[in-house]
Structure formats: structure tokens, C-alpha cells
A and B are shown apart, each in its own frame.
Chain A
Amino acid sequence: MSDGFDPYVQNGGTTIAIAGEGFSLLAGDTRNVNGYNINTRFMPRVHEVGDDLVVGASGFEADALALVKRIQQRIELYHDNHDRKMNAQSCARMVRTLLYGKRFFPYYVYTLVAGLDKENLGEIYSFDPVGSYEREWCRAGGSAANFITPFLDNQVNLHNQYIPGTNGAEPKPHRLLTLEQAMKLVHDAFTSAGERHIEVGDSVLVKIITKDGVETRILPLKRD
């Protein structure tokens, strides 16, 4: 009898992270699915792990929760061993080792880590399921990533936008977003993705990191 047990299942979910001047935000929808069924309308996939760091994980929910728990435990150990707050760069490297540690039976999770760097700029790292990672200003992960990424390319990184009147000669220069601008984009990204992707909906949980700590906001979405 060959192997009839598939240890993985797709629970859906999409996450977005945007970094700016003085803030970084990590947003994720709260719908948990299994195929065409909705398991629950509120299952957060964006978690605070301590030290004003936020981790967003989507894909296979059991692996995602196990990974986040391990990150939280490792951060507590870091406090015991190094007697200081963990920064985002160290946390990102640690997450990579956690993921690659299961290279041959992976955590089926797309991970995002958000924090604030020493210059008070938002710091975001994105990972693939086996630990490949880099720092970015903007990233969408999870099931609707393919819908949202082009939108973010155009609105955050101003791809294919030119200064009016230059006849396409001068591309718009790169600039960092304010928190209000980023929140508007996140809201639009999720409502649009929710219109076209069955796994996106119900509500969005946003965690915003500033020097004052982590703030949580919940935006409602259509439940269809």
C-alpha cells in the first residue's frame, strides 16, 4: 500500500509587508480555508514574537503556528543567552536557520519578518519555505501574492510611472511612503484581491511597528 497520507494542506491566506520612514507594517487576512470550505473567518496569521518584532506566516497553518512558536521560544532563549533585545536582522538570520533546518521536510510557509532598524526605518525580510531570504521595502506573500505584487510594484516602487510632461523620459523617483499612504494601499490591495481570489476575505489584521511599539488594527473585508 503506497503512501496515502499527504502531510500538507493549503490553508490559504495572504500577507503584505511595507516599510517606510519611521514604521513598518505587516498585514494578513484572517480567513482560514480548506479547499472550497471556510474553516473560520478569524484566525490571525500575523503574530508578535517579542522585542517589537512581527512575523507573518501563510501557507500550511499547522507549520506556520509551529514555526512562530519556535521563533518566540528562540527569542526568549536569546534574552537568556545574550541579555539584550533581539534586532530584526538577527531574527531574520535565525528564521532562516529554522527553515533550512527542515530543508528535507519543509515548513510549508511563506514567512515575513518586520521590525525597525537603528535609523528608524522600517525593516522587512521575506523568506521562501526553505529559508532563502533578503531585506526588502515591500513584499506580498501567500496565495494572492501574484495579484498584489504587481499592484505594489506600481504604487509603492512607482514602476512604469513617469513624471507628467516629460513624455516618458523621466521615471518618477523612488520615495518612501507615509503610514497613512501605506495603510490605504494595503486596504485597496486586500479588497481587490478579495474580489478575485476565493481564499481572501473576512478581515485583515494589520500590525504597525513604530518606535512607540506595536499597534494592531483590524479592517473588515467582504465575507463572500
Chain B
Amino acid sequence: MSFLELTEPWGKPSKNIFFPTSNGVQQNAAPVNSRTVQPIVTGASVIALKYADGVMIAADNLASYGSLARFFDVERLTKVGNNTIVGIGGDVSDYQHLQRILEDLEIKESNHGDGYALQPSHIHEYLSRVFYARRNKMDPYWNQAIVAGVDGDEKEPYVAFADLRGNTYTAPAIATGFAIHLALPLLRKVTDDDHWKTLSKERARAAIDDCMRVLYYRDGRSLNKFSVATITADGVDFQTNQSVSSEWAFAEKQYGYGTQEV
């Protein structure tokens, strides 16, 4: 709504339902209708992969306001219980609301007091249903989410995707946003053909760092400050304030990037 649309009704009582008129009083007040039509403050990519002992998921700490790099301390990985991390990209206000919803879910479940804990597959199913229900009302939570954890009594590595339309899928490696193009090929190289089942923690972390480096180089809405969470049968290892090395000095000598010397 524009400034004029918001301020014009001031001082103009709406009597036109009884006495239709075309001057002075406000015409047909627009129905107050609130729904998400575009994301405003956004988080970028999230990446996740399975490896031999569990799963790893990473997301940077940037929230952008269009092209403005606005907030540098946004934690986009959310812990849900001791066996699940949900990483979310897209609108940050919707993400914060989803955090609340997931927290409420955990509280309700723990109130039963029966010793059962929600599994990542349950969190994923619930989140997908929430997304789909909002999509059906044409008022989506404008996010893409990755649910990562170890599932069930067998503590099977679990990585699954859900987005604003209710689309879902699982795969050994998943990415959202720009990372689909830049990072997923690198992640698939180490996880394809069941290779993830013998992938070590070090190699998995190396793959994550590789991807975050590529994203920092090539994604214009990224930041070299990110969090990585590793989930295994022993629980969640949450590392914040991570960063990757990068080389920019070559640009000095590159025509068009550095200073011109004759």
C-alpha cells in the first residue's frame, strides 16, 4: 500500500454504505487483507549432506534487505530437540515465526512426559504440512527449509527439504537457493552412489567448507561468517562463527578489477 492509500482515509468516515456518495467521504474501504506476497528481509542458501556417522548442515549468518547486507548475526540453523536441526532460508520474519511454531511443537510433545522424543522425520512432516496449509490459503511462509538429523532407534542419517509451496523431497545432499547451482554438484560428488555411507567427518566438513567458499566467491548475497551443525547418534555439535579462507589478491592484476597502470 502506498503512503497516500494509508493516510488518505484519515478524517473521512465511511457513510457510503447508507448514503452512497462520490465526494468527501471515503469510498469503499479496501478489505483489510494481510498476506505474504514477497519476502522482505531474507536469508540465502542452506546446505546439508549425509555422511557415515550422521549429517552436517550449514548456513551463513547474513540477512539481506534486498541488495543491502543488513544483519550480520542471524542464526539460521535452529535446534529442535537433541536429534534435529532445521536450517531455513527465505523471509526472516516468517523464519522467526516458524521457530516459534517448532518450539511450541517440542513443548507440547514434552508435556506428554512419556519419554518419546520427536524424530527429524516427524519435524519434517509437520513442517511440510504447515507449509502446505498456508500455501492452500495463498498466504505462504516464504521459506525453504532443510531438516537434518538422525532418525529413529537406528539413528539413521536423515536430510529432507520443504518449501513455501509444500514441496518435499529427501536426498543424501540437499541445498536451497543459489547453493542448488553452486554447491549441490560438489556435495553430490562426495555423496552419490551411496558414497556418503563411507564418507568421514573430515571429508564431509571439507566439502561443506568448499561449498561455503564457492558461495562466498560467487553469491552476491552471501557472507563469510557461518554456522555448521553436525548431528550424530551422540547428539548435536553446533559450531558458530566459522569462516573460510579466500583469495582476492589476483584481482589486483586482473584487467578491469584492479587499478589500471597504463
Contacts and interface: CB of A to CB of B under 8 A. Distances in A.
Nearest to A39: B169
A65 B165 CA distance: 12
Contact of B169 (A5, A9, A32): A32
A214 B37 CA distance: 45
A11 interface: yes
A39 B171 contact: yes
B96 interface: no
B167 A62 contact: yes
A37 B180 contact: yes
Contacts of B135: 7, 62
Contacts of A43: 169-170
B181 interface: yes
A17 to B, nearest CB: 24
B36 interface: yes
Main secondary structure of the interface of A (DSSP, over half): loop
A62 B130 CA distance: 12
B38 A1 contact: yes
A3 interface: yes
A7 B169 contact: no
B216 interface: no
B165 A9 contact: yes
Contacts of A9: 165, 167
Contact of A40 (B132, B136, B164, B170): B170
B66 to A, nearest CB: 14
Interface string A1-16: 1011101110100000
Contact of A37 (B165, B166, B168, B181): B181
B98 to A, nearest CB: 17
A105 interface: yes
Interface residues of B, number: 22
Given A62-B135, A105-B136, A39 B161 contact: yes
Interface of A: 1, 3-5, 7-9, 11, 32, 34, 37, 39-43, 60-62, 65-66, 105
Nearest to A61: B167
B138 interface: yes
Given A4-B37, A40-B169, A40-B171, A66 B138 contact: no
Interface string B30-69: 0000001110000000000000000000000000000000
A164 to B, nearest CB: 47
Interface in B125-169: 128, 132, 135-136, 138, 140, 161, 164-169
A144 B80 CA distance: 41
Nearest to B35: A5
B132 A62 contact: yes
Contacts of B170: 40, 43
Contacts of A60: 165
A42 B169 CA distance: 9
Given A5-B37, A32-B169, 4 more contacts: A3-B138, A7-B165, A8-B165, A105-B136
Contacts of A5: 36-37, 138, 140, 164
A33 B36 CA distance: 25
Task: Pick the 6 closest A-B CB pairs, nearest first.
Answer: A62-B166, A40-B171, A40-B169, A39-B169, A62-B167, A43-B169
A42 B170 CA distance: 8
Contact of B37 (A3, A41, A66): A3
A41 B171 contact: yes
Contacts of A4: 37-38
A9 B180 CA distance: 17
A11 B169 CA distance: 11
A119 B11 CA distance: 77
A13 B169 CA distance: 14
**Which of B161, B164, B169: most chain A Cβ within 10 A?**
B169
Contacts of B181: 37
A5 B169 CA distance: 21
A66 B135 CA distance: 12
Given A37-B180, A66-B132, A61 B38 contact: no
A7 to B, nearest CB: 5
Contacts of B128: 62
A61 B140 contact: no
